[in-house]
A and B are shown apart, each in its own frame.
Chain A
Amino acid sequence: MGSAVIVRPSLGVRARRLGFAIAQPVGSVVIALIIGAIIMIAFGFDPIKGYGGLFRYAFLSEFNITVTILNSVPLVFTGLAVAFAFRCGLFNIGAEGQLLVGSLFAGWLGTLIHLPMILTVPILLVTGSVMGALWALLPGVLKATTGAHEVITTMMMSWIGLYLTSYLVKNVLMDPRSTIPASNRITEQADLLTLDKVFPFLFGRPTRLHIGVFIAIAVAVFIWYLLTRTSLGFSVRAVGSNPFAAEAGGVRVSRSIVVSLLISGALAGLAGTVEILGLHHRVFDRFSAGYGFTGITVALLAKNHPLGVIPAALLFGALTNGGAGMQLAADIPIDIVDVLSGVIIFLVAAEEIVKGFGRRRAKRQAAAQALALSSGDEGAVA
């Protein structure tokens, strides 16, 4: 350890690694779909009709793609939040609370200020990230100083955040004259521009897609850059792979832990803020449909790769959206869709199952090679 020479694996090896890294989650999804089909048949539904509906309503037609993309935007952010902490060896399961706290304060501020759009939007996005980060600060400090496990502390903070925001929405932000349990409308200067306004030549009619889509992609690229091309990212990854070795190598472990939880919390806060400024334009009580928790699955499926988070988020965005298709096209209850995503989560989480296939294959190949060697054929050098 501590050697200055970094040996990059050959291109072939890296390509094969990438191939396997992609094949495994894809395999999980395919197996989940097959199991889903069996479940549908068992309950007397037509899986071909069901999946047809799912596919059609998730991807075919401009409207359906729009909804799929919009569904996946918050998941990109929460997926990144969880993945970033994971890379430092931390399991931030409290992204939901960070999301709610971040977006509540951003939205609240949005109902109070009157500034031009060019200032309003950045101010609110920063507010959301900062408040989300602050909500992750305490678990980070506790972990760094006392070793308190972040799974417990982030979760507890998440519950506190959930009830705190819920209380604030209903007792402080909600106008007594309002008929819906939500804040007043956030200033229109804070609305994220819809894409038909940004690219009028691309969209013939109004769309609900907003620039949050690009913010999500840009942030994913930024996080990828941060992790792989900066010294901060190197420290984070070093701590993630072996904190003792990192310490010995001169990395300040406690600092990396706090910083990565702060960044993770900021990403979660951004998730909710973009959702509120782009779609709801109000702070609703508990508006998040568990984005923070789905983010864990997204990160797992993406193998914690910042760019892998994008397709993983799209998959879950498509699943929730296609659920409507399954209901309409094949009268399949929404619960079956939930079962399906449950199966995917299970298979991703229990990736050893899928890995097991790979290992058996490797064993058999090794046996075949040994056989080839002993029988005097050309030697295979691994």
Chain B
Amino acid sequence: MMSRRTSMVVGLIVAALLLVGLAVGCGDDSSGGDGYKAAMATDVGKLGDKSFNDGVWAGLEQAQTDLKAEVSYLVSEQQTDYVPNLTRLTEDGNKVVFAVGFLMTDALAEVARANPDTFYGGVDVDLADETFTPYDLPNVREILFAEQQCGYLAGLVAANMTLTGDAHEFLNDDKVVGLVAGMKIPSVDRYIAGYIEAVKSVDPDIKVLLTYTDTFDDPSAGKEAAIPMYDAGADIVFQVAGKTGLGVFEAAKDKGAFAIGVDVDQSAELPEVILVSATKNLQKATMQTVKDAMDGNFTAGNWVFDLKNDGVGLSSFHDFDSIIPQTLKDAIEKAKADMAAGTLEPATLVDDTLVN
């Protein structure tokens, strides 16, 4: 009863199934190498965020070059992917697995408990129990950064440049700077607290405009938040919003004004508007963690990367180096030295009364 066409279709499906079966049977894991394996699972921000996930990946690539480690990554598309992806990377034979982003906190704790023989690096992860009491796991390094320090440096740049209205056509005479943030979480607030403290230390009359966009992956929200700031006279806006911040650069370009990048040197994104970037040395933190694990020196607990260990900093000014006054450059160096020495400790919590 089967028509010729039907039997052809059935034949095709059977052939396709066989092919898949064959592929599965032959699908050899190419994990035969003797390389030390390290990998990362991204949060839902994914690779290509030009900041967070990309920074960790750069560290893994460096580990591949310098330490001959075998590196790989898995992109998470949804929050339910976190546990499976961390588990898979563990079962795939990786000795060190990085969980990138605070959203993975619960997942990382769960997987790390189940796999005590694998080392984990949690970037921006700070383990705490239900009563918010911090705790540590013996195989988890919680990689944290002193964002208030590089935020402070960014604030110095913003405040001093907004006061020198004639150094560049993008600058005006209004004493206003802006800040577009992602979600209100501790690491973001550390950036903000440092930034505001520095601005007010330069001139308490400078207004700081602050908007939380409540998202890290929506450039249009970043643009929407930045445009009114530029319209209100801000000539420099600092973005602490991951992928959302890419919209701030767009707004700066439209309005003919400056923006300050975050996490990694973002200058390449839009060199004509990005004055400088406040950087977290994600690459170094990642590379260092792989190296420690390889050498048998892995230590768990909170690892804070700050100015003392070159964990945070300020990028170069690139093309704008010539418009930066020497006094500002000196002030930056002095602040760096003071913070490294511990004599200058910027706040880590945002003081709402300082925001306009």
- Write the residues of chain A forming the contact surface with B, with a CB cutoff of 8 angstroms: 27, 30, 33, 48-49, 51-53, 55-57, 60, 63, 67, 70-71, 166, 170, 175, 177-181, 184-185, 208, 275, 279-282, 284-285, 287, 289, 320-321, 323-324, 327-329, 333-334, 361, 365
* A289 contacts B5, C-beta separation under 8 Å: no
Quick check: A30 and B23 within 8 Å, CB to CB?
A: no
Interface contacts (Cβ under 8 Å), in number, total 100
Closest Cβ neighbor of B114 among chain A residues: A206
The distance from the CB of A359 to the nearest CB of chain B, in whole angstroms, is 13
CB distance from A329 to the nearest CB of B (A): 6
Cβ A279 vs Cβ B92 within 8 A: no
Point out the residue from A56, A170, A324, A361 that lies within 8 Å of B27, measured CB to CB.
Answer: A56
Query: Are A60 and B24 touching (Cβ within 8 A)?
Result: yes
Docked-complex contact B5 and A52, CB < 8 angstroms: no
With A166-B214, A179-B105, A328-B72 as given contacts, are A279 and B80 in contact (CB-CB < 8 Å)?
yes
Q: Is the CB of A179 within 8 A of B74?
A: no
User: By the criterion CB–CB under 8 Å, are A67 and B84 in contact?
Assistant: yes
**Pairs A–B under 8 Å by Cβ, sample size 23:** A51-B20, A52-B20, A55-B24, A57-B88, A63-B84, A70-B80, A166-B214, A170-B183, A179-B105, A179-B125, A180-B106, A181-B103, A185-B130, A208-B83, A279-B80, A280-B106, A289-B78, A320-B81, A324-B84, A324-B88, A333-B75, A361-B3, A361-B5
Q: Which residues of B contact A208 (CB under 8 A)?
A: 83
Residue of A nearest to B91 (CB): A63
Enumerate chain B residues within 8 angstroms of A53, measured Cβ to Cβ. 27
CB neighbors of A among B76-114 (8 A): 77-81, 83-85, 87-88, 91-92, 102-103, 105-106
> Which residues of chain A have C-beta atoms less than 8 A from B77's C-beta?
289, 320, 323, 334
- Give the complex CA separation of A364 and B31 in angstroms: 54
Question: B102 → chain A, closest Cβ, in Å?
Answer: 5
A284/B79 in contact, CB under 8 A: yes
Nearest-neighbour CB distance to chain B for A311, whole angstroms, equals 16
Say yes or no: B84 contacts A321, CB within 8 Å. yes
- Do the beta carbons of A52 and B88 come within 8 Å of each other? no
**Contacting residues, chain B, for A57 (C-beta < 8 A):** 88
Taking a contact as CB atoms under 8 Å apart, the answer to whether A52 and B24 are in contact is yes
8 closest Cβ pairs, A-B complex: A289-B78, A52-B23, A177-B132, A52-B27, A48-B23, A334-B75, A67-B84, A179-B126
Is the CB of B165 closer than 8 A to any CB of chain A? no
A327 to B88, CA, bound (A): 12
Judging by beta carbons under 8 Å apart, are A63 and B24 in contact?
no
Q: Within the complex, what minimum Cβ distance (angstroms) separates A319 from chain B?
A: 10
- Give the CA-CA distance A57 to B301 in the complex, in Å: 33
**In the bound complex, do residue A170 and residue B78 qualify as a contact, i.e. CB atoms below 8 Å apart?**
no
Are B13's CB and A327's CB within 8 A?
no
Residue of B nearest to A57 (CB): B88
Looking at the complex, which one of A70, A179, A329 makes contact with B102 (CB distance below 8 Å)?
Answer: A179
Per-residue interface assignment for chain B, residues 65 to 79, with 1 indicating a CB less than 8 Å from any chain A CB and 0 otherwise? 000000011110111
- How far does the Cβ of B182 sit from chain A's closest Cβ, in whole Å? 10
Asked if B233 is at the interface (CB within 8 A of a chain A CB), the reply is: no
Known contacts: A56-B24, A328-B74, A334-B75. The answer to whether A282 contacts B183 by CB under 8 A is no
- Smallest beta-carbon distance B170→chain A, Å: 33
B46 nearest in chain A by CB position: A334
What is the minimal beta-carbon distance from A252 to any residue of chain B, in angstroms?
41
Bound CA span A27–B13, Å: 10
Max count, chain B CB within 10 A of own CB: residue among A53, A175, A178, A365: A178
What 1/0 flags go to B189-232 for Cβ under 8 Å of A? 00000000000000000000000001000000000000000000
Contact check, A63 vs B27: say whether CB atoms are below 8 A apart.
no
Q: Check if B185 is an interface residue, CB within 8 A of chain A.
A: yes
B114 to chain A, nearest CB (A): 8
Nearest A residue to B41 by beta-carbon distance? A324
Given contacts A208-B83, A289-B44, A289-B80, 15 further A-B contacts (CB under 8 A): A27-B9, A48-B23, A51-B20, A51-B23, A56-B27, A179-B126, A180-B103, A180-B106, A279-B80, A280-B79, A280-B106, A289-B77, A320-B81, A327-B75, A334-B77
